[in-house]
Structure 1
Amino acid sequence: SLLLRLDLEFLESTPKTLINSLHATARNFDTPSYWTLTKYMCREEKFMLYIILLAELYGHMSKILLTYAFYRAII
């Protein structure tokens, strides 16, 4: 299941691999691109786009915030 997959990735992942996993999971949900998903999140939670971009720029981010961004995107 998706939740089990995310839990297992938390145990062994770095923030960079977790972000890459988010990209792959977005594709699994028939999302045309990661940026489409990001735009959707931006509409729902205006600050979420900035959090994800900062994570990619600085290479670190709380996994809790990334999980929150992911769950908000698929709800």
Structure 2
Amino acid sequence: MSKIETVLKTYRETKGMTQKELAEQVGVRRETIVHLENNKYNPSLELALEIARLFEVNVEQLFWLKS
């Protein structure tokens, strides 16, 4: 499986959100956000879309396949 990279932490911090606040808004545990931000977890399509919608960006602005 390809690894996915992300700039989720940058977007989250720019909005002044904690990991817990983001997790609550998209319906996951805080640990899931930690793993996403550290590139240790590939999000489901549904989760990636929910996060992108929350930040009002395209999924590709937050997540992409590692080269």
Q: Structure 1 length normalisation: TM-score?
A: 0.42
Choose 1 or 2 for highest CA Rg: 1
Higher strand fraction (1 or 2): 2
